[in-house]
Amino acid sequence: MKNRVPDILLIYTGGTIGMVKDYKTNALKAFNFDQIKSKIPELKLLDCNIETVSFPCPIDSSDMSPKYWVEIAEIIENRYDDIDGFVVLTGTDTMSYTASAMSFMLENLNKPVIFTGSQLPIGDLRTDAKENLITAIQVAATQENGKGKIREVGLYFEYKLYRANRTTKVSSEQFEAFESPNYPHLGESGVHLNFNTRWIKDEDQTAGLVVRKNFDSNVVVLKLFPGITEKVVEHMLSFSELEGVVMETYGAGNAPTASWFIDIVKRTIDRKIPVINVTQCTGGSVLMGLYDSSIRLKEIGVINGKDITTESAIAKLKYLLGLQTSHKDFKTKFERSLRGEMS
């Protein structure tokens, strides 16, 4: 008996991939994604049914926010029972943030949600949009034993499939714009589409999808640098509405040992504000206590972000705050992998 052809929903939020050039004015403009098959006739060769839905007013990547994260999640929620896989098109600049957030929002996810985009507009002569879109749809449509081969939030770009909450954008110039520095890619597109089964989430969720829509956005990223002053740190961590801090430290989680710095961070934690330690390095992990310069951070209760990316740390912090996680439980919950976002 022939397997049923999978149904794929293409969700366009905005970004370069959905732009075409008006050759009369030389300006870029969004095109109607309902006509996607006329722009990319190769889509007709894919063994799946493709539906499209677009934001009424496509947004620039720089304008992405939790408000739009919820809109994306609600589209998925409303079509979850009758669609086999989802492909989400967003701007690349904030794609890792959005895709990471989606991994936390979609609890008990048991279907593929694949993010992609492009460095050049879909109508450009040398565009990367066509390959990224075609293969992302193919990934979302790939099934095994009647279920999606991928059952998590992924990000596909330039021949590589990644776990979305492990990614970071590393180039605004190269087609290979994303990397997953601390986790192997889930698949690769060449002559054949190959999956690295060992690294793909294999638990089969029996519980129904739960969409978490509450985020607390009163968080800051404190990036340390040589010569950062007491006044700057005090100012960033003292405003009354602050609810959480992602602190980008040096190397394996090291920070200044000056008493004023430790005192400010401790006062912040004493206000029941979680402070997450993540490394500024592209790859590697926070190892608090390995060097003297991180021992005090560990002693005062700074949370170990391990090998989580900054993008994923921000999404996870907002997510746990949105769940109204108690200060008592926050450290334990953050330091535990929830969606494969840390080792």
Listed by start position, the domains of the chain span 7-211, 219-334
- Mean pLDDT, the chain, whole residue set: 93
* Spatial separation of the C-alpha atoms in residues 13 and 15, rounded to whole Å: 7
Question: Picking from 19-23, 195-199, 248-252, 259-263, which range would have the lowest pLDDT averaged per residue?
Answer: 19-23
Asked if pLDDT for residue 19 goes beyond 90, the answer is no
Q: Degrees (nearest 5) of the Cα angle 337, 341, 343? A: 65
Please tell me whether the overall predicted TM-score, pTM, comes out greater than 0.85 for this model: yes
Q: Give the residue with greater pLDDT, 32 vs 127.
A: 127
- pLDDT classification of 245: cutoffs 50, 70, 90: very high
Taking the alpha carbons of 28, 32, 33, 38 in that order, is the dihedral positive or negative? negative
Positive or negative, the CA dihedral 237, 241, 243, 245 is: negative
pLDDT > 90? residue 16: no
Contact 334, 316 (CB under 8 A): yes
Whether pLDDT at 189 is above 70: yes
E strands in 103-159: 106-107, 113-116, 143-144, 147-148, 153-157
| 7-211 and 219-334 have identical folds | yes
The proportion of the chain whose per-residue pLDDT surpasses 90, expressed as a percent, equals 79
pLDDT at 1: 37
Query: Sorting pLDDT into bands at 50, 70 and 90, what band is 30?
Result: confident
**Catalytic one of 16, 98, 268, 279:** 16
Average pLDDT (319-343) is 96
pLDDT at 3: 62
Question: Could you tell me the CATH superfamily of domain 7-211?
Answer: L-asparaginase, N-terminal domain (3.40.50.1170)
- Catalytic annotation on 16? yes
Q: Which CATH class is domain 219-334?
A: alpha beta
Tell me: the pLDDT tens digits for 96-106? 999 999 999 99
